[in-house]
Structure 1
């Protein structure tokens, strides 16, 4: 079933989440009319390769034009034409942005489907969707709006103050120009009295305006401390969770709006205070409140602006290799990676270019002995105004590359006490500029990075990235793996399910997670509350096996992604089921019923087990085939193996024992849409077939034993029963784990 059809069958509460994904950037109309085509493209890769993104954009527009021409409904045809025009205007100059938007929507759809299949959200996802968040953000919207209104009213107050002062100044200078002989007249005395009243009113107005400005400054300070900074920290935590497969990251535009409006209020107050400084050059007097209060208030405004702008300098896109877009924060030496930083505050015109410099491992803990690296490519770039960000400054580094330092000061660098994939590094970003007389040093850093030198280290590196971002929100805790904390199974199982929804299109259900919990923690563990150590998850081998739990699970992910994706997403693979559960499920089923599960003894293997009628009446016999791994599946699609599989036993005619996918789905109904019906026909040759065959022994040999050769008599019998065509046989053995 296609992903879009699965979406349409969800409950209304999940459909509301889907509705949130689609807007003018990617209208749902397109998702609907081009659903099959959209799902067949590799948007994740295109989001990091401009040439591929350009091709997909052109193809999408062509598909849309074709759909318009075929659409019979006049209104729908009109809407599609408008959408086509809007997409061309929006994405012609930025196809990468389009690919990124669509990739994010598809990925988030998969996560929603996965969540719906589990029937309830896990603790991490619930924490990312705090029910009081909406009210909290609404309150923040109101506070920012009130402050902006009060600051704008202050503009009017300062203008009124200036008018009052001009009027006083004019009358005062007029009085001074009078003949001294007239100063004792009643008219002059009245004018002096009037001037005194004006000065009193002016003094009152100055004190009132300064008092109101002081209140606004206090309000902004409280807003930043109590709401803006916590919202920023929460967004960064959501970014961490998103990096390891969690919910779609949203809220940056909202943060940017709050930061910009707050900064604009402070900029405006700075100008108001400057204006007051100009007023006292014309009129001042004893106990004038402006020279007494203005310097301190100006310092407070500068302080708030400095820290607000500094905190608004954020890493919008964490470092990521384009070759592995869904595994950020892992960098391979010699391979280009990308990252992007943004200033959430829209600045007034700056009179020079704002240059951002990248520095690797600036905050490395002192005395720590480990590998050292430097940035091989250009590490400085100028920030530009980004139209899609409402005029804020951003810069994307697309061609950064690391090289390892083999020697430092002539001495060979040794590795530290931790493994390569446990060493954490950081990428810092710095910039300097001056605005309104304020010197601002901008600095931010990425989440901790894992640097690898060989792609074989990627699984271990990704385990470290998951563990770190799951368990801490400290951005600079580079010594984390010196004493890594434990994770609860409730948290960890949710992250593992995200890996399957992100990389394989469908997450894990309760039963599958239960099996994984038992494999990792044992039968007696309280899975949601039990604690899992880092060593148990990633470093220690599974008892009796030469690999760890994570290496086993990651190999299955790779197998699904490369060889089993269609049938995995069609829910044909039960996958994670223990031998005990398998027997309880199949024992009462009719012969020919089978299920697919992942091998527990092979890395990246899948096997099927079927029911065969035993010689003892009423007792079912279960037989499993030797696991198929990526090397064997590279030669023959797994659906075709299910279709063509034969068992040769006791000299009888070979037959396919697979009839019904558990519980009772006819095999062709379950797998028919995935069969490869295009058999090669190269004339003048007769066509050849690759048929998976198992030889069933009376007593199955142990799985470690080599496959015995087929005797000439057996081969003659095989060709007699199968076909006169040339047959290439792929031999498998019945198997028991």
Structure 2
């Protein structure tokens, strides 16, 4: 079943997540009509190679144009043509961006499918998607609607006040024009009495209106402080979790709706209070409540408008390099990165350009970081109204950082923290002038890690994960001076997210238990165990030359580049100790095998199969791990299919028959084989075959040779001793 068909069968809560990341950058209609073609292309590679991205972009347009011509429904054809032109204009100058966008969409789909297939959600994910949160949102929807209704009723009350005052004003002026000789007449006295009654009612209605207005202002104040601001804070926390591979971030449009409706209510009240100011210029009297109460209310409303709009200035997309969309908040010097800010309140028309300026490490005290940077490119842009949301936003697409030379001539990174533990910040500022208010807008990104070499990327990503897992204070740039510990229940969930996000399939309980053993030693229960930052990322594993995170990150890289299809299909058990491996295979049919990641090599995968010795006892044989260099020559599925063991005087055989527990090899891996049988070629095709040489029985396991043809293996072994052969094959 295609990935898109699997997505369409998801529950509604997962479909809402899918809906979020299909937007104007890549409409869902395109995903639907070109589903099979899109899934058959290598967007991951294209997102990093401009020539390949250009070819795919042109092929994409050809496929879409063909689909337009075949579409029978007039409306659908019209929409596809419109989208065709939008995509053509948007990505013609930058096909790399389109490849990156599509790659990210496919990856997010896989992550959501993986999450949906997992039996249990972790505590962090549950907290992001619990029913209580949904109930709070319904309550907030209702509260905002009630306030809007109350403000509309106040509008009617102001209109009633104005009509009553006009009536009083007309009667009063008419009375003044009457002959003074009639002042003692009964009709004149009656008119004066009527005027007094109208004035009494007017006074009562003014007091009533002011009282109701005060109540609505209090309700809005409470709404902002006890509901809107906490919801915004929770959204920012969800953004942190999404940055490190957690659930897809949704809810910003909903927040915008709440903020906008609340702002509209405040603007409407401000207009009502302005109207009262006009009314008292025509009619006022002793103990008139409007001059006494209106100024204070007006100040309250201005205060609420100011702080509501100020808090609605948010970083919609955290800083990210287009080449590493899944690893935001890591910036490499002199490499372009993008970020986007948004104003959640839809404003009345602003009659000037609202400019946003971005600065780097604006408020960082001197001496807090060892390295200093400045923005190399244009750091000011104008906010525009976004067509899809109607809000003001601005995207900085071409920012670059450059390191400022240290005045003393030193390297500038000699402090107690490593380069990847130094945290930095990107600030955004704008000045909004609106209805007599000067609102200084300011916000900042989540803390950034700045690297100068891609080799620092794994360490930088570890810092980003650790920080965003354990704190929600965006200004805590000294976090790694004394980093908090993480519980295993927290950390294991984030590690599973790395596999679901980067590799399309998360980790199950058994796999996480093996990682717990690796990091913490064997425990009855890991959930309450605390993990230090140093143990996770800096200390080497006992007996090895690398840390736990370096080992795990190398496996992620291996899966992403060489094992993705078979990992997604669940063919790789991956994380299983040697002891558990033997326990699982012990009772199985000879030729049953499983694949696991090497514990001794960085980024290596091996397979182990079970045989029977002369006494009928199980014997376990593992091959030397395959690393990326060897998998470049031959995909893992073809290695499994063609693997041979050569024993003295015995015809080469493939000992691999069943993928654990009992799946026939071809059934498990068949769709991943690379076949050349149907290719028309005038030459006899060559065929790489992975071979291991069966060592004498006294040795416990065999050591495989790198994939090569049988003929090449024979030639080399005839001219080199076993020691020389091994050395030759291990050299670069």
Q: TM-score, normalised by structure 2?
A: 0.89
Whole-angstrom CA distance in 2 between matches of 1:323 and 1:225: 39
Q: Deviations over 1:443-496 (max 9, x none)?
A: 011111111000000001001111111111111111111111111111111111
Residue 456 of structure 1 aligns to a residue whose secondary structure is helix
Does the 8 Å contact 1:371/1:415 carry over to 2?
no
Specify the alignment match of 1:397 in structure 2.
396
Does the 8 Å contact 1:651/1:717 carry over to 2?
no
Residue correspondence of structure 1 range 141-180 to structure 2 within 5 A = 141-180=141-180
Specify the alignment match of 2:722 in structure 1.
none
**Alignment equivalent of 1:672, drawn from 649, 670, 673:** 670
Does the 8 Å contact 1:426/1:445 carry over to 2?
yes
- How far residue 167 of structure 1 moved from its aligned partner, in angstroms, is 2.0
Specify the alignment match of 1:17 in structure 2.
14
- How far residue 589 of structure 1 moved from its aligned partner, in angstroms, is 2.0
Residue 650 of structure 2 aligns to a residue whose secondary structure is coil
Q: Deviations over 1:579-612 (max 9, x none)?
A: 0011111122222221111110000001111223
Whole-angstrom CA distance in 1 between matches of 2:469 and 2:682: 60
Whole-angstrom CA distance in 1 between matches of 2:321 and 2:401: 11
Specify the alignment match of 1:129 in structure 2.
129
Residue 364 of structure 2 aligns to a residue whose secondary structure is coil
Whole-angstrom CA distance in 2 between matches of 1:475 and 1:581: 43
**Cα 1:167–1:52, aligned 2, differ >3 Å: closer, same or farther?**
farther
**Alignment equivalent of 2:61, drawn from 42, 46, 58:** 58
Residue 338 of structure 2 aligns to a residue whose secondary structure is strand
**Cα 1:558–1:655, aligned 2, differ >3 Å: closer, same or farther?**
same
Residue correspondence of structure 1 range 341-352 to structure 2 within 5 A = 341-352=341-352
Does the 8 Å contact 2:377/2:398 carry over to 1?
yes
**Cα 1:640–1:87, aligned 2, differ >3 Å: closer, same or farther?**
same
- How far residue 410 of structure 1 moved from its aligned partner, in angstroms, is 7.7
Specify the alignment match of 1:186 in structure 2.
186
Greater alpha carbon shift after TM alignment, 299-308 vs 654-663: 654-663
- How far residue 545 of structure 1 moved from its aligned partner, in angstroms, is 0.5
Q: Deviations over 1:159-197 (max 9, x none)?
A: 221222222222222222333333333332222222222
Tell me, yes or no, if structure 1 residue 575 matches structure 2 residue 557: no
Greater alpha carbon shift after TM alignment, 39-48 vs 293-302: 39-48
Residue 476 of structure 2 aligns to a residue whose secondary structure is coil
Does the 8 Å contact 1:316/1:340 carry over to 2?
yes
Length, aligned pairs only = 712
- How far residue 124 of structure 1 moved from its aligned partner, in angstroms, is 0.7
Specify the alignment match of 1:632 in structure 2.
630
Does the 8 Å contact 2:693/2:704 carry over to 1?
no
- How far residue 146 of structure 1 moved from its aligned partner, in angstroms, is 1.2
Residue 565 of structure 2 aligns to a residue whose secondary structure is helix
Specify the alignment match of 1:318 in structure 2.
318
Residue correspondence of structure 1 range 72-221 to structure 2 within 5 A = 81=77, 84=80, 87-88=83-84, 106-221=106-221
Tell me, yes or no, if structure 1 residue 419 matches structure 2 residue 406: no
Whole-angstrom CA distance in 1 between matches of 2:484 and 2:118: 27
**Cα 1:681–1:377, aligned 2, differ >3 Å: closer, same or farther?**
same
Structure 1: 5+ residue stretches without partners = 70-76, 720-729
**Cα 1:601–1:5, aligned 2, differ >3 Å: closer, same or farther?**
farther
Residue 132 of structure 1 aligns to a residue whose secondary structure is helix
Q: Deviations over 1:532-582 (max 9, x none)?
A: 111111111111000011110110111111111111112111111110011
Q: Deviations over 1:673-702 (max 9, x none)?
A: 212113798977543232222222214499
Tell me, yes or no, if structure 1 residue 279 matches structure 2 residue 276: no
Q: CA RMSD in A?
A: 3.5
Residue 689 of structure 1 aligns to a residue whose secondary structure is coil
Structure 2: 5+ residue stretches without partners = 719-724
Whole-angstrom CA distance in 1 between matches of 2:622 and 2:347: 67
- How far residue 104 of structure 1 moved from its aligned partner, in angstroms, is 6.1
Specify the alignment match of 1:460 in structure 2.
459
Tell me, yes or no, if structure 1 residue 438 matches structure 2 residue 434: no
Specify the alignment match of 2:356 in structure 1.
356
Whole-angstrom CA distance in 2 between matches of 1:519 and 1:636: 30
Residue 342 of structure 1 aligns to a residue whose secondary structure is strand
- How far residue 272 of structure 1 moved from its aligned partner, in angstroms, is 0.9
Whole-angstrom CA distance in 1 between matches of 2:271 and 2:100: 41
Residue correspondence of structure 1 range 638-653 to structure 2 within 5 A = 638-653=636-651
Whole-angstrom CA distance in 2 between matches of 1:45 and 1:353: 40
Whole-angstrom CA distance in 2 between matches of 1:530 and 1:56: 52
Q: Deviations over 1:93-151 (max 9, x none)?
A: 65699988866654443233323443111101100012122221111111111111111
